[in-house]
Structure 1
Amino acid sequence: MKNEMKIGMMSRWNAPCGAAVHAELVGRRWIEKGHKLTVFAPLEEVKTREKDEPFVVRNYSNNYLDPKPFIEADYDAFVHHNISEMPMKELFGIFPKIKEKAKTVLVAHQGRIPEDPYFAKFDWDAIVCFDERWKRFLVDIFPAEKIHIIPYPCHPICHGDKTDARRKFGLPENKRIILIYGISLHKYLCHLPRIERLNKKYPLILLVLTSVDDWFDLFEAVKHRYSFIVLRKEALTIEELYTYLHASDCLIYHTDSSQYAVLSSTVHTCMGGGRPILAHNSNFVECFDKEVLKYKSNEIEEKLMDIFEDKEGCKMALKAAREYVKRNSAEVIAKKFIYLFETLSMEKEGKR
């Protein structure tokens, strides 16, 4: 390994959101490679069941920021994962002190120009976005030469035995299992009549996992009508999520298109599990080609039948997903960031 880098990263952490998933996947790879990481995270947020590591400092909220940890921590690269509800005004006040000791990198998660007036005032050394859709609007604010495309990271490939996984979680071994999970499960209700029809031909269960009280209560009421629903209230660790993936025959991901640039952190997280992902054909998955099986709402029954019958298209999707994960694994993306940090440091020292 080249010289150890000391990295400060401002981001949500151990939280169910795309910025946190990105930060955790990449940040933990940096640590594995011997780099030093300090994470500056919000004081209060909805968290997963993962426990904060010793390198996590919680020192800000929407309109409050304790500057001391930012100023006193030792780092030579500073990464800011920008999402809504960040204390940008307060960060701007200490930004000169951060720039004195570190190269600064913005990771632009929001798929449009944020309304916060401070967003465009920062003089970042580099801006990272996920693909050309982000770059098209970022060039209206920042110099094009400062904008770098680094794809969103994927969880590493991690396959598992279906029977063992089902036994671990007490799930039936003689039925098909369709998995849905997350914080927006109300969007899946429209599929229940079609899944019910499919249940007559292929005995199945719809495994519903959520930590959101409202959605748990909603499906608790609905499952009296749709008896194939198995409902569990859980805030999952990544290991538990992958075991549930291994227990399942497929994952359904459903969300409608946004008018802004978007992608699915859920799909990037789950592609390494070795199970087909059936995704609603929206711009959340337009960055994928054959890696996921896309559907319109009236096609979901047919697509699920193809998965249950292990049709050729499903095999091709799994192969394409494996290749995508290899190209964009957390380790690969972490290396791209390290190369960017090193390049910025060399430019600062006049070596380029």
Structure 2
Amino acid sequence: MKVFEVGGCVRDELMGVKPVDRDWVVINSSPAEMEQSGFKPIGKDFPVFLHQETKEEYALARTERKSGKGYKDFTFYFDSSVTLEEDLKRRDLTINAMSKDSDGNITDPFGGKEDIQKKIFRHTSNAFAEDPLRALRLARFKTYAHLKDFEVAEETSALLREIAISDELSSLSADRVWMETFKALSSPYTENFFESLVEHGLLNPWFTDLEKISIDGITPEHKWIEMQRVNHFNLCSDLPIPKSFQKGIELFKLILSLINCSETQEKIVLIESINFPRNHEEIKGLLELKILQPYRKDLDKISNAVMSINFSQLAEFDGNAVSEKKQFLYHEALKSIL
């Protein structure tokens, strides 16, 4: 049994970046030997094991061959005869197809170190085009600070176009597409993800409503709200957007409606719908967005006025009287500033 550190963690170490997590590949071993050594099996399609102490993943070296459509339909081959180089060859990019042994020796059969120096994303083999998820992963890599300036090799761009016209992207699950999108939203250079999709024609079928790219805010939720705003709130309607994101979008739309409203009673209805007391923290974050900053002073006044209302007195009323009294309280608190 021989163990090697592989993939993105080796790449990041060579670039002087602390890896977020580590992946390991094991050669000259078997599932039985791994379990006898104390590893816990967790893989369904191929042997992957958890280290009993570090909880890091260790996978037996394997090869793979596409057997259907999408990123899931692959046939895997693994046994003790699969070599380290064969395992590295199945990986997406040369910069991710390197390994390091326990003595720190680097195995780099496809020129990953040179491509790091040249700042190039280059596919390891033509099998890159067999997995449509790799197109989204490559776009996401460009959102990382240490990879943002990498360019896509010409021959790799050709494979991305091949993926785009093959309709393979439609075979991806909505959950998987959102996962890649969320990771991009969580990274510092989010705009590079969407720009890469546009550049390589990868919008169909998941991002067909993408017309403009505009990133604002720090959190994934706020970045997504800004992207929705500039795309008429139609972006990625087929993706499983989390409820927290949806809530933020609805609050944001209500605030926009309030800003554009001129009729006092309608403003009060909108303010009540916004529910400043309940959504105070979310609203505070939304007011950091550039589009709302010119209105922040007025919105803060409204928020402070609403927060000062003593709603406990509503307990004295029943039925329709509660609604009428609430409207009266809002009107009294806001009449001097609307």
Q: Which protein has the bigger strand share?
A: 1
Q: Which has the larger radius of gyration?
A: 2
RCO higher in 1 or 2 (8 Å CA, sep ≥ 6)? 1
Give the TM-score taking structure 2 as reference length.
0.26
Q: Which protein has the bigger helix share?
A: 2
Give the TM-score taking structure 1 as reference length.
0.26
